[in-house]
């Protein structure tokens, strides 16, 4: 009986492996590729080294006054000294612990979400957190002083606006999406008009409207906080976009699901809330995260109506007479903070998309 021995696997030919080969394949395969690579390298060369030199090599990190910024590069001392302003705005210094506690509780909440199995408990925990965060930030209960909203600012205000925007616009958006998908003609046309109107105008005009015209809508003596007016504008704006995304999710649900829910005798709201919405939301989640990213970016617009968000803090801190001319450092720092938040969220939404994509196909 013949004995067959398996020969050892031959190595890949040397022409198809190794760094040199990778370079040849990916960077220098054709003459036009060589030119492109060289152009790309040149572009990197004129952008990156000067930036690194300015932001790191020649920059000043230590010290606590302007005099200690001796190098030609960036003066990060400015950002370090003004960090409280960038983070908390004009929030009283001795009360900042309340904001930090709120942030700490948020981490606790995320951890609790990992442990809590029932979604009912999760929802309850979430609402308890919202209440606690509101009391901590705003005050007025449990012996905490009320901090007027004109003291709120910096990253904290940006997060408050973004969070309030998404939390309030979400239920409104769901209701409008239901209205748009309903077969009652008047309800449907009201919802379509609302969504198309809001999506057709820039956010800044809506913010102007909510800050200038809204007070006229209510009886004399009824005053609205500036922040509250901005929040109303942003919520109304965002609701239209949320509605459009959820409508997309609703459309992806096959008719059989509606019919099956009808067949087992569920009422309209039971059908929508227990059968249709959970499936539609699952489809819509990546896009909702996308909408949240643009909301987070759009919060910068509140500076135009006179609130002091993170971006507005650049101008305010650089107007300090001891730190004049430090705008560049401020803008670069704030750009980095916004970028990190948005990029993180967009990666998260991409991973969600991949996660949910497999279920659908």
Residues that bind another protein (CB under 8 A): 26-27, 29, 33, 36-37, 40-41, 43-44, 183-187, 190, 196-197, 199-205, 208-209, 212-213, 215-220, 293, 297-298, 300-301, 303-304, 311, 314, 327-328, 331, 334-335, 338-339, 342-343, 346
59-63 long-range Cβ contacts below 8 angstroms, 24+ apart:
none
Cα 208 to Cα 233: distance, rounded to the nearest angstrom: 9
Minimum distance, C-beta of residue 199 to another protein, in the bound complex (Å): 7
Fill in the DSSP letter of residue 65: S
For another protein, give the closer residue by CB, 108 or 184. Answer: 184
Report which secondary-structure segment, H or E, holds 46: helix 31-52
Q: Are 308 and 299 in contact (CB under 8 A)?
A: no
For another protein, give the closer residue by CB, 246 or 303. Answer: 303
Minimum distance, C-beta of residue 326 to another protein, in the bound complex (Å): 11
For another protein, give the closer residue by CB, 74 or 277. Answer: 74
Minimum distance, C-beta of residue 90 to another protein, in the bound complex (Å): 21
For another protein, give the closer residue by CB, 132 or 187. Answer: 187
Q: In b/e form, how buried is each residue of 126-138, taking b as 16+ CB within 10 angstroms?
A: eeebeebbeebbb
Say how far residue 77 (Cα) sits from the centre of its chain: 28
User: What SS3 state is found at 142?
Assistant: coil
Cα 350 to Cα 291: distance, rounded to the nearest angstrom: 13
For another protein, give the closer residue by CB, 98 or 247. Answer: 247
Minimum distance, C-beta of residue 250 to another protein, in the bound complex (Å): 19
Cα 206 to Cα 224: distance, rounded to the nearest angstrom: 16
Minimum distance, C-beta of residue 201 to another protein, in the bound complex (Å): 5
């Amino acid at each position: 009986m013949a004995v067959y021995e398996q020969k050892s696997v031959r190595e890949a030919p040397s022409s198809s492996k190794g760094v040199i080969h990778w370079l040849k394949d990916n960077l220098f395969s054709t003459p036009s590729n060589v030119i492109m690579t060289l152009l790309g390298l040149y572009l990197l060369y004129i952008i990156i080294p000067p930036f690194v030199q300015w932001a790191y090599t020649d920059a000043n990190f230590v010290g606590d006054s302007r005099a200690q910024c001796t190098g030609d590069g960036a003066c990060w001392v400015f950002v370090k000294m003004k960090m409280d302003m960038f983070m908390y705005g004009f929030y009283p210094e001795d009360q900042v612990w309340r904001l930090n506690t709120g942030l700490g509780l948020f981490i606790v909440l995320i951890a609790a979400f990992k442990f809590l199995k029932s979604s009912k408990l999760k929802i309850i925990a979430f609402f308890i957190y919202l209440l606690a965060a509101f009391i901590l930030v705003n005050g007025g209960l449990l012996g905490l002083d009320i901090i007027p909203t004109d003291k709120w600012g910096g990253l904290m205000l940006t997060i408050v606006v973004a969070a309030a925007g998404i939390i309030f616009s979400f239920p409104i958006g769901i209701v409008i999406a239901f209205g748009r998908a309903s077969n009652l003609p008047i309800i449907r046309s009201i919802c379509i008009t609302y969504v198309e109107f809001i999506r057709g105008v820039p956010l800044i005009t809506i913010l102007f409207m909510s800050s200038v015209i809204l007070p006229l809508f209510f009886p004399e003596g009824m005053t609205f906080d500036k922040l509250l007016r901005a929040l109303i504008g942003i919520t109304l704006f965002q609701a239209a976009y949320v509605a459009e995304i959820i409508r997309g999710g609703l459309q992806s649900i096959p008719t059989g699901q509606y019919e099956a829910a009808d067949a087992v005798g569920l009422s309209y709201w039971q059908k929508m809330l227990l059968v249709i919405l959970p499936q539609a939301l699952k489809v819509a989640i990546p896009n909702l995260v996308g909408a949240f990213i643009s909301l987070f970016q759009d919060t910068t617009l509140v500076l135009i109506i006179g609130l002091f968000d993170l971006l507005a803090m650049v101008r305010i801190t650089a107007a300090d007479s001891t730190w004049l001319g430090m705008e560049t450092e401020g803008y670069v720092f704030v750009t980095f903070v916004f970028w990190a938040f948005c990029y993180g969220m967009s990666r998260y939404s991409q991973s969600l998309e991949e996660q949910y994509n497999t279920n659908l196909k």
